[in-house]
Amino acid sequence: MADRRELPAYALSETAHYLTVPKSTLRYWAMGRASESKPLIDPAQHHPLILSFRNLVELHVLAAMRREFEITLPKVRSALDFLTRKFRVKNPLIAYEFATDGVSLFVERYGQLINASQEGQAVMREVIESSLKRIERDTSGIPIKLYPYTRSDWRTAPALVVIDPELSFGRPVIAGTGLATEVIADRYKAGESIQELAEDYGRPAEEVEEAIRCELEAA
């Protein structure tokens, strides 16, 4: 049976929505640019471009860095190639080795490439570590759930919405439930209040609000 985490499941537009990153940026990271630079990830499907859950998690980490730093693809690629050689892993952005030992090495390597100050490198480390904490792994270290940022401020964004390939066809749901954020947001757009939805679903209003944010904030 095929691993759902590796199957093509997310169009570029919905990935851009979940991660609040422009489609053009994601396409650049996933496809590269002709002979100028190689892609940063290996998409589950190239033509048309369809991404897997694994791709989504990889792009989540890149998107977190993008919120604080100007991501230059060739320089990130150079730093990731270094980690690939160092740990001998295929997907360094989401490898368990990266989460445990590689962040400091990546920051050091990338910092050298962009001549980042010590203060800048400290922030970069904090950003990466924050994004990695929102990835839930199984006992072998493989990512199985992603808690996307539902707010622009990554320091205060709660982890109340989760993307799990085993639930709701991999679409966002309220964490700990099977309640799809899309359904909740549709009811909200139709005129129901957050309090009414909270009472109907038997969930705290805060969770309902984050579900709506997940679907409507970017728009």
Residues in the chain: 219
If you average pLDDT over every residue of the chain, what do you get?
92
Q: Domains of the chain by range and CATH? A: 147-219 (1.10.10.10)
Which pLDDT band, with edges at 50, 70 and 90, does 11 fall under? very high
With a cut of 90, say whether residue 67 has pLDDT above it: no
Look at the block and give the residue holding tokens 């700990």: 176
Cβ atoms 67, 100 nearer than 8 A:
no
- 45 half-sphere exposure, CB direction, 13 A CA radius: 13
Determine the average pLDDT of the residues in 54-59. 97
Which pLDDT band, with edges at 50, 70 and 90, does 22 fall under? very high
* 83: its two tokens: 């980690």
Cβ atoms 87, 46 nearer than 8 A:
no
- Taking CB atoms within 8 Å and a gap of at least 24, the contacts of 87-92 are 91/41, 91/42, 91/54, 91/58
The per-residue pLDDT for 1 is 67
Amino acid at 189: K
* 189: its two tokens: 């757009």
Determine the average pLDDT of the residues in 185-200. 97
Which pLDDT band, with edges at 50, 70 and 90, does 101 fall under? confident
Determine the average pLDDT of the residues in 56-81. 89
Determine the average pLDDT of the residues in 65-75. 83
With a cut of 60, say whether residue 218 has pLDDT above it: no
